[in-house]
Structure 1
Amino acid sequence: MSGHTITQEAADTAAPTSVTQSHAARELGLKRGEFELAVMLGRIRTVGDPAGGRRRVPHREIERVRAGKGFPEAWLERIRAVGTTEGAALMDISTARFTRLARTGFVTPVKFYLNRYRAVVWLYLAEELGQFARSESNAGLLTGRASGTLRAQLDAGVDLRARNWRGRYAGALLRQSDDSWERAAAVASLLDPVQIAEIIRDPYERAYLRRLVPAPFGQGAPESPAGRILQKITTADDPDEIRWLRANLTIGISRARGERPAPRPATHPVPDTGPASPPRTAAPEARPRPLRAPDHSPPPTALPHEESKERASEPRGLLKWMRRRGA
């Protein structure tokens, strides 16, 4: 009896304390999109993978979600995302008015996808739309003629859906982790590579951030038509938004460096082959040959003059931009 107990305790101790996100989704009976949205909204908490892989879900978190009131029906209703038509019906307004509210930033998308015609379909949290419609302060936006300011914005082609989604997405990524490098990667994921290179000159640091960037949305290769659309949506293009991201990346990378350096290629020392054998005397007519490095010597990772050229060709970064703004 005691032997069985000891064996069982040892098995429990050896069991992993967390599982992959796909495994957690299956245990909770959630579809992939439902699970990802729940993580983004903070309804399911994740932890970093010690091995450096994708974030994982603790067993205790799965148990907490299962034990929640009304799981799964009421819980799923809180993460239900709807499109324009269903969202307008929930708010009892026309789809045209709903689109105007979304374009001018009164309602913020929670996710998006590309349909078979490569058109962007924005989705909104049903719970938030219901709260917006029930608020008395929003009554004037749901009925009557649009204000002059609103009409001027729409006439100018204002569309804040992508920008507002990026802000929401960045906030969700920053909430998920306390690791400074992961947080810097979350900010960098919304900037153009040129912007990142201006701030982070070290190629190993940039490579490390790329490894930590959240999984891509995966709707087409980067150079495909769908990939270019996704790149446009997920990359900041508004000047104020870019300034905010650049400032946060500058602060974030400084904190990350203070915690630990970015990993670099390991250098292997040349093995000691023992005492050198006495040199052989060359024949009088033989000409001396130039010395060569042993074949097992590791090649240098970067030549100093090449690194100097790379740094000299790059822009001065955020300080130079700030001086131009202050001129």
Structure 2
Amino acid sequence: MPVTDAVRTSSVHTVAVSRAAAELVLKRGEFELAVHLGIVRVEARQSGGRPRVRQEEIDRLRAEDGFPRALRERVRTVGTAEGARLLGISPVRFTRLARAGCVTPVAFYLNRYRAVVWLYLAQELGGLAARSPELLVGRSPAWMRDRLDSGTDCRPRNWRSRRIERLLTLTDDPWARAAVAAQALDPAQLAEVVDDAYERAYFARVRPEPVFGPRGSSATRDAMARLMLAEEPDEILWRRVNLIMELDSARELRQAPRPGDERRPGLEALGRPPVPAEPAEPSLPVAPAEPVKPGERVEQAEPAGDLARPAEPAVQGSPVGLLARLRLRRVRGDRRPRERAGRAAARSGGHHPSGRRRPLTGPRGGPGRESAVRGE
């Protein structure tokens, strides 16, 4: 597993996430954001267990100046109203700045109306005020007015770029990096760039996930999957180019696995030698049929023994077995009906050349032949 600045593996003393958050005086959401931003480094077990935090990392953060207030200030998020209050502007102007891309969201949540509410880092808003004070007073610049008049909203795009860049730092594997880049393209765009279905399936196996995994309700996860897709044509083109570059690097390292590349456990895994397949027996020659003489009746002999009935499936009670038994019953019921009728007629004493017995009653309910002879 590659070692990054956010996820490290070691055998030193570690503590659970809940205890680490309590010692750092952080709420669960603040702690997860600190891990996402790389402020707190955690250790992920190779067995897929829950992430843990090294005690050395906790001691390092607690030894910083201004702890715990300084640490909490680094992960404090604000919405539109509180962000406008920090900058000393109206919420409408703050929204225009965010839509124009002057500030980048770090997270979001869904309100009771299932609308996306963006959250921003309070420290970054302070940096905007110090870096570009002209954006907070007076008339907006021309580029900003043109961007807003065209209906552009840079908040999803900036949040998406920030999240993808963060996920790329979690791994050094080229295939995992390509899988992260592929998240920004919808299935149709992805199929155009990566025409190999096995490579697209391999993306889902190696794609790095957040340290704490997908969280939130199903609606939140659906909203995140929707927000991860690029929308503007220039962004789509940029994501396609990035994916091609990452994919070329991954293919140079190794190829995506194909069915059969991974050896399945068989008899060798159990310590048993494989049984060689027996050669097929040669088929016996068929004797040529004798020619039929003119006027001679040819009757096909009925096969005897087990050849006379079709093989029934081994599983009883299944639909296939039921259909087979119904077909067998029909075949047995329809086998040589004239012969069975002729034998029945011979036993009753009225054998007919055609194999049928004449009716006892005459046509239209009249007297039959036996009744007419007796004079009844």
Question: Same-fold call, TM > 0.5?
Answer: yes
Aligned to 1:125: 121
Indicate the SS of the match to 1:112: strand
Instruction: Please give the residue correspondences for 1:244-323 in structure 2 after superposition, counting only pairs within 5 Å.
Output: 244-265=238-259, 266-268=262-264, 272-274=274-276, 276=278, 279=281
Structure 2: gaps of 5 or more residues: 1-9, 268-272, 288-302, 304-376
Instruction: Please give the residue correspondences for 1:219-230 in structure 2 after superposition, counting only pairs within 5 Å.
Output: 219-221=216-218, 229-230=223-224
Q: Find the partner of 2:153 among 140, 155, 159.
A: 159
Equivalent-residue separation in structure 2 for 1:195 and 1:70 (angstroms):
48
Instruction: State yes or no: 1:95 paired with 2:91.
Output: yes
Higher deviation after alignment, 246-255 or 114-123: 246-255
**What is the deviation of 1:88?**
0.7
Structure 1: gaps of 5 or more residues: 1-14, 287-327
Aligned to 1:71: 67
Equivalent-residue separation in structure 2 for 1:185 and 1:196 (angstroms):
11
Instruction: Normalising by structure 2, report the TM-score.
Output: 0.60
Equivalent-residue separation in structure 2 for 1:114 and 1:50 (angstroms):
33
Instruction: State yes or no: 1:109 paired with 2:109.
Output: no
In structure 2, relative to structure 1, the CA distance for the partners of 1:174 and 1:43 (3 Å cut) is same
In structure 2, relative to structure 1, the CA distance for the partners of 1:242 and 1:47 (3 Å cut) is farther
Q: CA RMSD in A?
A: 3.3
Instruction: State yes or no: 1:214 paired with 2:209.
Output: yes
Instruction: State yes or no: 1:81 paired with 2:77.
Output: yes
In structure 2, relative to structure 1, the CA distance for the partners of 1:149 and 1:82 (3 Å cut) is same
**What is the deviation of 1:150?**
2.5
Equivalent-residue separation in structure 1 for 2:66 and 2:234 (angstroms):
42
Equivalent-residue separation in structure 2 for 1:256 and 1:57 (angstroms):
30
Instruction: State yes or no: 1:187 paired with 2:181.
Output: yes
Equivalent-residue separation in structure 1 for 2:60 and 2:258 (angstroms):
39
Higher deviation after alignment, 168-177 or 104-113: 168-177
Equivalent-residue separation in structure 1 for 2:280 and 2:144 (angstroms):
89
In structure 2, relative to structure 1, the CA distance for the partners of 1:245 and 1:127 (3 Å cut) is same
Kindly provide the amino acid, as one letter, of the partner of residue 273 in structure 1: V
Q: Size of the alignment, in residue pairs?
A: 264
Q: For the Cα contact (< 8 Å) 2:160–2:228, is it kept in 1? A: yes
Q: For the Cα contact (< 8 Å) 1:45–1:176, is it kept in 2? A: no
Percent of aligned positions that are identical: 46
In structure 2, relative to structure 1, the CA distance for the partners of 1:202 and 1:58 (3 Å cut) is farther
- The C-alpha deviation readout for 1:152-206, integer Å capped at 9, x for no partner, is 3222212111111111111111223222222222211222122222222333322
Aligned to 2:314: none
Kindly provide the amino acid, as one letter, of the partner of residue 122 in structure 2: A
**What is the deviation of 1:131?**
1.6
Q: For the Cα contact (< 8 Å) 1:208–1:263, is it kept in 2? A: yes
Aligned to 1:295: none
Q: For the Cα contact (< 8 Å) 2:108–2:117, is it kept in 1? A: yes
Kindly provide the amino acid, as one letter, of the partner of residue 275 in structure 2: T
**What is the deviation of 1:67?**
3.9
Q: Which has the higher contact order (CA 8 A, sep 6+)?
A: 1
Larger radius of gyration: 2
Indicate the SS of the match to 1:69: coil
Instruction: State yes or no: 1:27 paired with 2:23.
Output: no
Equivalent-residue separation in structure 1 for 2:223 and 2:286 (angstroms):
73
Equivalent-residue separation in structure 1 for 2:13 and 2:283 (angstroms):
67
- The C-alpha deviation readout for 1:83-119, integer Å capped at 9, x for no partner, is 0111111111111111110010111111111111111
Equivalent-residue separation in structure 1 for 2:159 and 2:79 (angstroms):
14
Aligned to 1:39: 35
Q: By percentage of residues, which structure has more helix? A: 1
Equivalent-residue separation in structure 1 for 2:193 and 2:43 (angstroms):
28
